[in-house]
Amino acid sequence: MPKNGKTRWLAPVALLLSGVWLGMCADAWAEAKTAHKQGAYPRVQDEPVTRDKPAMTADEQAKLKKDLIDARDRQSSKAKPKR
């Protein structure tokens, strides 16, 4: 290394940056463990919660089915090439 001090700062900066990087990794690891303990995702063996009422009534399902069929028919009529 030159004695003029231009590269003297390199070692402390490298140590500082490696310390910051390790700190970020440790923080990410701690967050991942905390999220796992809090139950961010359900376990594989957990069963879904039973609902008091269905998500959609039969009338709502029929209306949605009709709307989807109508949308499909509109798109298929627009997609046909005109001769």
Between the CA of residue 40 and those of 10, 32, 34, 36, 43, what are the distances in Å?
A: 42, 10, 9, 6, 9
Domain that holds residue 26: 6-40
pLDDT (0 to 100) of residue 61:
96
Enter the DSSP assignment of 42: -
pLDDT (0 to 100) of residue 35:
59
pLDDT (0 to 100) of residue 4:
60
Number of domains in the chain: 1
pTM of the predicted protein model: 0.38
- 10 part of a folded domain: yes
- 45 part of a folded domain: no
